[in-house]
Each structure stands twice: as structure tokens, then as C-alpha cells.
């Protein structure tokens, strides 16, 4: 019988009382009720703790909050200060500093109209941060699922950031990015590349600007001079600029202020390929004929990944989402335990070649029978032995070959169920053009394969993988051959004579996957940021038709799996310890 109040029960005849409803114990309903009760309990508990902490907030904490905000250039109104204290009350005393820094970082990303803050912007940011924290608490094990351990990011959805040299901060571009940009987009491409390296260089103690008459640092004075300031100056100077050929046979260095013709004939250079379009540091002096005689030339020095991340924490340069400190630590622990996870990476899978298909089946048979199957197979183009537009009269024949590949994968039951398959197009595969980044393989080609392998992933070239905390960039391009052809000066052999090591040094110092002239390798102007390598990732895969190689440079693991169809080479990569196993049939 329903629980009516006693007075009301006496006024209603017993015969008119509603019958007691039947009790239905639906498991899903019970589960939802328990989850709801748990959320309500947690919410009330957090609120009670917050109220207790807020009452205990001392004048010391209030003064610290106001001081921290003033250091960032903000002034707090009374209601804004109360909102900040309310936010901090949700955290234990030993975490107040981190919570306050996080709040300030997030406020810095907002487009604030004034430096005098009222309650509204503070409340907005604080609410978002508390909701994010609550979501992490309610799903503590979500990060260990396979879906969150491996995330593939297409080049066309990589966030775009632009550096503001006045505020010395990166701002995320939130507007549209059309494929066909206007003329200003091309100029912006070069400006963004230059500013990216310039802001990195500005933190290097060897090239920091000296304050007034400060004593020379232990490295000596290597202050960078704007090219515009070279007019009428004598003596040796350091300049930074893009190598360009404004006139046939005459090379120039350009920065944001001017351009100057340079003579590189007697320059001493560092490791790397010095090609047109690369950004270099040059030491030299102006000659009477207006030409800058270069004595020493090298790429801008690198910065540790940790240092870059510390300066711009909270910005998602890589794509795939931002991780909190707690999530990063938890994923790092899971990553250490993932000793059996392995990626098998193959390049040049010619589907029109029976020998290649036979070799591929041999590899699949081998991994089907191991104790723990690989987590990921990366199959990179080219998927045809000849450039597509020249060899195939009909796209349907290639569609059939992809279907056969799908049948081959599906016949290996353990691999089909427990491994993922990632497909990346090559430079000569079917597509709208040879421009970078290249879009994924057309759906018409791959839909037969997807019927057999539903969990197959088709991504762009280049593409990015985040595996737990590791950042991996995959790029299929015959880059080594083209960079060597574009060299203006023969590479230095003082440190190494290996062309692959020169290539790795070039792209890492340039923070760009393809620093070739745009005339030789077109790039979609508005998507050049998808080829940036900043902050430096943990691993870079430079798939190339040249010889199989692996090289670790300044903490970055780089390797070329070789051409599978040509010489049967491939790579087995263990991300937990960045171990590269060069393999071949």
C-alpha cells in the first residue's frame, strides 16, 4: 500500500486506495539507480568537503591568489576572488598551487575583454575543470581500454596553432581551413614556420638577447640580428632566415624584416641537408657589394621535448586530446606494463604483385601463431607497382585487389579479432593529387576490404598515433632521394656520412616533415601545420623506398622500414621501450 500521510489516509476509504504496484527488479534499472545514487553521494560529499575547506581558507591563501593573478597581469573583483576560492576549496592543501596554475592557464586561453576579471569568466573555467575532474574520478579505468590506448589522428583534424611574437604565446585557430587558400595563406605558411623555430631559439641561452650592458654569458654573445639591421653594419653577425632563390643562381636569406643575398661557397656547415626552403642560422659579415659572406651555417638548435611541453602545457599540438597530469601518470604506468604490445610496419605493399601477396601471407601466418599477436599492423603505400594514374585503366581492378587482401587478413582469425590494421596511402597511390597532406584511400577502393576487416583504419599521409603517452608520426614519402637532389651544398661528413642520419637531423631541427621547396613538393597551404614536428614526437617513421635504416637522434627514434615489395624488409616496433627490430624475409 502506498505511503499516504496518516491524516490523508483517514479521509480516503480503504476501497479507493490504489493497489500496491508490483515490484519489478530489472537489473539494468537497479544498476542505473545505484550509479545515480553513487553520483549523488559523491557530489554531496565533494560539496561538503568544499564548504569545510572554504571556511578554513586563510588570509594567506587569499593573498597568494591575488599575487598569482597580478603576476599574470590580472586584477580580481570581489566576486571573482570568491569564485577562485570556491574552486580551490575542492582540492587538498598540498594541491592548491597546481590547481591555481591550471586555472590561470585555462583563463589565459580565453579571449578576455579586460584584465580586470569579474565572476563570469572565472566561474566558466572553474566549472569546466571541476566537471573534468569529476569525470576522471567516475571512470578511473577508462584510460586502460584498447580504444583509449591507441588513437589515430588524421592530418586534416590536427589542431592548428599560431605563435604571437608580441604576447609570446600560441593561439589556436578556430575558424575554417579551406583546402584552396588565398595568397595570404602561402605567406602565412612561411611566417608560421619561421616563428615556430624563432620562439624555440629565443629560449636557447646561447642566442638569448642580452639585457642592456649585461655581461656576456658563458657561451659568448650570439645575439640574432634582424636582416634589415645589417645595412651599414660592420663586423660579424648572426642572422636567421629561410634559404630562397629570388633570382636564378642567386640565393638569399629572408626573415620577417628583409632579405639579403648570401655567399655559401666557403661556409662551414653542420650535419643535415641544406636545401632551398630550409631555415638556417648563419654567422658572417656584410661585404662591400651588399652580399652577406657566410662563415658558419647550421640549423636552429633543438629544445628538449619536456622543456617545450612545460612552456606550453595545456595546448594540444599533436592532436588526440589533452591529458591531465593524473591521466598521464596513469597511462605511463600502463605503458610500462605493455611489454607485449608490438607494431608491425610495412611499406610498399604492391597488391598487383603475386610475390608480394605471398610474402605478406607468410608474415601474417607467422604472427598468427605467436603467443601474443601484434597490437597494430601498419600497411603503407604504394599499393601498386606503378604510379596509379599511369598503370591502371580502371580503378575497379585495384578495388578487387583490396578485397583479396581483406580475405587474406580475415583468414587469420586471431589477427582479425585482436589486431588493428592501419592503411596509409603512398605518394603514387590513387588520390586527387600529389599534394601533402594526402587524404585517406577512397572508400570505393576499400569497402570490399572493410567487409572482411571491419576494424580497419584508413588514415591520411602523414598521420599520427598516440599510444598511451607516446606520440608517433608516420610518413610515407620518398624523401631521402628528393632531399639529396635539392641540396645547395654537399652534406658535411665531419660527424656522419650516412644520408639517412642527415635526413633525420634535417627534419628534426626544422620541426617539419618535408622542408622541400613548394615547387618540388606542393603542400596545402592551410594544412602545413599537420607536417610540423613540434614539440618533437617520441618516434618518427620515415617510410621510403631506400635502404632500411634506424637511427636515434637526440632522444627521438627514427626508422625507415624499407620497401617490402622490393627487398622483403619491414620493422617490428615495441613502443613500451622504443625498440626497433629491423626484419626481412
pLDDT in tens, 528-547: 999 999 999 999 999 999 99
Average pLDDT, integer, range 339-360: 95
Per-residue confidence at 12, pLDDT binned at 50, 70, 90? very low
Nearest to 351 by CA among 372, 324, 380, 374: 380
| Residue 567 grid cell | 627487398
Mean per-residue pLDDT, 449-475: 95
Task: Give the mean model confidence (pLDDT) for residues 458-469.
Answer: 95
pLDDT (0 to 100) of residue 74: 83
pTM of the model: 0.75
* 433-465 CB burial, b ≥16 within 10 A, e <16: eebbbbbbbbeebbebbeebbeebbbbbbbbbb
- Which one is predicted more confidently, 209 or 560? 560
What confidence score (pLDDT) does residue 141 get? Answer: 43
What band does 15 get if pLDDT is binned at 50, 70 and 90?
Answer: very low
Is 80 exceeded by the pLDDT of residue 325?
A: no
Instruction: Flag whether pLDDT at 582 surpasses 90.
Output: yes
pLDDT above 70 for 342 = yes
What pLDDT does residue 102 have? Answer: 83
The pLDDT of residue 400 is above 50: yes
pLDDT at 4 over 70: no
Residue, of 111 and 223, whose pLDDT is higher: 223
State the average pLDDT over residues 328-342: 88
Residue 213 has pLDDT above 80, yes or no: no
442 pLDDT tier (thresholds 50, 70, 90): very high
Q: Which fold has domain 27-138?
A: Helicase, Ruva Protein; domain 3 (1.10.8)
Q: 401 pLDDT exceeds 70?
A: yes
Which has more pLDDT, 220 or 419?
419
pLDDT digits (tens, 9 = 90+) for 132-153: 666 544 444 444 444 458 899 9
Mean pLDDT, residues 194-220: 69
Share of the chain above pLDDT 90, in %: 56
**Cβ-based burial of 119 (10 A; exposed 0-12, middle 13-18, buried ≥19):** middle
**Residue 143 pLDDT:** 40
Task: For the chain, give the percent of residues with pLDDT over 70.
Answer: 83
- Give the whole-angstrom CA distance, residue 75 versus residue 83: 13
Mean pLDDT of 21-29: 48
DSSP state of 365: H
Q: What is the pLDDT of residue 29?
A: 53
pLDDT for 45-84, tens place per residue? 555 555 555 555 567 788 888 888 887 778 888 888 888 8
- Residue 215 corresponds to which cell in the numbers above? 655581461
pLDDT above 90: residue 17: no
Tell me the average pLDDT of the chain: 85
Contact 462/513 with Cβ under 8 angstroms?
Answer: yes
The domain locations on the chain are 27-138
For residue 462, cis peptide bond before it (omega within 30 degrees of 0): yes
Cβ–Cβ contacts within 10 Å for residue 156, how many?
16
Q: What is the pLDDT of residue 36?
A: 62
Task: Name which residue leads in pLDDT, 279 or 216.
Answer: 279
Res 14: pLDDT: 44
Cβ neighbors of 126 (< 8 A, separation 6 or more) are 83, 84, 86, 87, 103
> First vs last Cα of the chain: how many Å apart?
78
pLDDT given at position 140: 43
- Name the pLDDT band for 216 (thresholds 50, 70, 90): very low
**Between these two residues, 117 and 388, which has the higher pLDDT value?**
117
Amino acid at each position: 500500500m502506498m505511503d499516504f500521510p496518516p491524516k490523508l489516509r483517514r479521509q480516503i476509504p480503504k476501497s479507493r486506495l490504489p493497489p500496491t504496484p508490483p515490484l519489478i527488479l530489472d537489473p539494468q534499472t537497479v544498476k542505473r539507480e545505484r550509479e545515480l545514487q553513487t553520483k549523488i553521494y559523491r557530489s554531496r560529499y565533494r560539496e561538503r568537503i568544499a564548504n569545510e575547506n572554504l571556511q578554513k581558507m586563510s588570509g594567506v591563501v587569499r593573498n597568494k591568489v591575488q599575487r598569482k593573478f597580478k603576476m599574470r597581469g590580472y586584477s580580481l573583483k570581489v566576486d571573482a576572488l570568491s569564485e577562485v576560492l570556491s574552486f580551490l576549496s575542492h582540492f587538498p592543501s598540498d594541491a592548491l598551487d597546481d590547481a591555481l596554475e591550471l586555472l590561470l592557464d585555462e583563463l589565459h586561453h580565453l579571449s578576455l575583454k579586460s584584465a580586470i576579471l569579474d565572476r563570469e569568466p572565472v566561474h566558466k573555467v572553474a566549472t569546466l575543470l571541476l566537471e573534468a575532474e569529476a569525470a576522471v574520478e567516475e571512470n578511473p579505468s577508462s584510460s586502460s581500454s584498447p580504444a583509449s590506448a591507441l588513437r589515430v589522428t588524421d592530418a586534416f583534424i590536427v589542431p592548428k596553432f599560431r605563435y604571437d611574437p608580441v604576447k609570446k604565446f600560441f593561439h589556436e585557430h578556430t575558424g575554417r581551413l579551406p583546402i584552396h587558400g588565398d595568397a595570404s595563406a602561402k605567406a602565412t605558411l612561411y611566417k608560421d614556420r619561421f616563428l615556430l623555430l624563432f620562439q624555440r631559439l629565443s629560449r636557447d641561452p646561447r642566442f638569448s638577447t642580452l639585457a642592456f650592458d649585461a655581461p656576456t654569458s658563458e657561451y659568448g654573445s650570439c645575439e640574432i640580428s634582424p636582416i634589415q639591421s645589417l645595412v651599414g653594419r660592420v663586423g660579424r653577425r648572426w642572422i636567421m632566415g629561410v634559404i630562397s632563390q629570388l633570382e636564378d643562381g642567386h640565393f638569399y636569406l629572408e626573415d620577417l624584416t628583409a632579405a639579403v643575398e648570401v655567399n655559401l661557397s666557403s661556409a662551414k656547415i653542420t650535419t643535415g641537408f641544406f636545401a632551398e626552403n630550409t631555415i638556417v642560422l648563419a654567422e658572417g659579415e656584410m661585404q662591400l657589394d651588399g652580399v652577406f659572406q657566410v662563415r658558419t651555417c647550421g640549423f636552429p638548435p633543438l629544445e628538449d621535448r619536456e622543456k617545450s611541453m612545460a612552456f606550453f602545457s595545456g595546448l594540444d599540438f599533436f592532436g588526440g586530446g589533452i591529458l591531465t597530469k593524473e591521466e598521464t601518470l596513469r597511462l605511463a604506468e600502463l605503458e610500462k606494463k605493455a611489454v607485449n604490445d608490438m607494431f608491425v610496419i610495412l611499406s610498399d605493399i604492391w597488391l598487383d604483385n603475386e610475390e608480394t601477396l605471398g610474402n605478406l601471407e607468410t608474415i601474417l601466418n607467422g604472427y598468427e601463431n605467436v603467443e601474443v599477436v601484434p597490437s597494430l599492423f601498419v600497411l603503407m603505400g604504394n599499393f601498386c607497382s606503378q604510379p596509379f594514374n599511369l598503370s591502371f585503366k580502371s580503378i575497379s581492378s585495384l578495388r578487387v585487389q583490396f578485397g583479396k587482401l581483406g580475405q587474406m587478413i580475415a583468414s587469420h582469425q586471431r589477427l582479425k579479432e585482436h589486431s588493428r590494421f592501419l592503411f596509409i596511402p603512398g605518394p603514387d597511390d590513387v588520390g586527387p593529387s600529389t599534394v601533402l597532406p594526402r587524404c585517406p584511400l577512397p572508400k570505393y577502393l576499400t569497402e570490399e576490404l572493410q567487409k572482411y576487416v571491419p576494424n580497419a583504419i584508413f588514415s591520411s599521409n602523414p598521420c599520427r598515433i598516440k599510444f598511451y603517452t607516446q606520440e608517433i608520426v608516420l610518413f610515407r614519402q620518398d624523401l631521402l632521394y628528393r632531399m639529396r637532389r635539392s641540396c645547395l651544398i654537399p652534406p658535411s661528413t665531419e660527424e656522419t656520412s650516412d644520408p639517412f642520419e642527415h635526413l633525420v637531423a634535417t627534419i628534426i631541427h626544422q620541426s617539419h616533415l618535408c622542408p622541400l621547396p613548394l615547387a618540388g613538393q606542393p603542400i596545402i597551404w592551410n594544412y602545413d601545420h599537420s607536417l610540423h614536428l613540434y614539440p618533437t614526437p617520441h618516434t618518427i617513421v620515415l617510410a621510403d623506398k631506400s635502404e632500411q635504416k634506424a637511427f636515434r637522434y637526440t632522444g627521438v627514434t627514427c626508422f625507415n622500414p624499407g620497401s617490402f615489395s622490393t627487398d622483403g624488409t619491414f620493422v617490428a616496433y615495441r613502443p613500451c621501450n622504443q625498440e626497433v627490430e629491423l626484419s626481412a624475409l
